Amino acid sequence: MTFELLCATLIALLFGALICFGGYRLFLALLPIWGFFFGFGLGAQSVQLLFGEAFLATVTSWVVGFVVAILFAVLSYLFYIFAVAVIAGSLGYGLGIAIIGIFSDNLNLIAWLVGMALAIVMIVITLRFNLAKYVIIFATAVGGAAATIATLVVGVENVQLLALAQNPIKVLATSSVIWTLLFLLMAGAGIAIQLSVNRQWEIETYNRWSTVQA
């Protein structure tokens, strides 16, 4: 392992751990980043299904991915409700893709439809019952744990980065049982710690667009 790769790995591990155990407190800083990466993945995977291409195999998938990513990042920064919808939708979409992906080698229309359906369900439930705090804590704990353990899997088991980017949960689920257990333990610890630390702390809602107009 080169020094540059070692530094990148350590940064990825620290960033993943920070999100896992402090995601709710860092949400306002994380939301444009979260929106960007979710938007990029959603756009690229949608192109993959529409044109029957491999993941990020063409310029079109990259362009669409970046356009959706920038749109999600900007809207997440401007509107609190959109940021919550993005994180709730990403949780539902990721869960749907992961569940179907365990039984299929490639992303298919069924996986995409299940992911989109669960994304919509998660958004509606989160907004209807005011569950933003708990969804943010759960999503950041799971996402941070996935990023941390997946980084270790890439380094130890030489997993391809594209496979990891397309479905990190599938990579963890199909790897050694030890990795899966470490992921579950870390995610569970992240949820428990964030719930305890943030019991009396709430994120302030915002509408930065109204501030810009004023």
| Per-residue model confidence (pLDDT) at position 85 | 93
Question: What is the residue extent of each domain of the chain?
Answer: 17-201
| Per-residue model confidence (pLDDT) at position 171 | 59
| pTM of this prediction exceeds 0.75 | yes
| Per-residue model confidence (pLDDT) at position 176 | 66
Question: Residues of the chain whose pLDDT is less than 50?
Answer: 160, 162
Residue reference for tokens 């689920």: 173
Q: Tokens standing for 21?
A: 């155990």
Please report how many Cα atoms fall inside a 13 Å half-sphere around the Cα of residue 145, on the Cβ side: 23
| Per-residue model confidence (pLDDT) at position 118 | 93
| Per-residue model confidence (pLDDT) at position 64 | 87
In whole angstroms, give the CA distance from residue 89 to residue 107.
18
**Angle at alpha carbon of residue 147, lines to 100 and 136, rounded to 5°:** 80
| Per-residue model confidence (pLDDT) at position 146 | 84
| Per-residue model confidence (pLDDT) at position 21 | 94
| Per-residue model confidence (pLDDT) at position 136 | 92
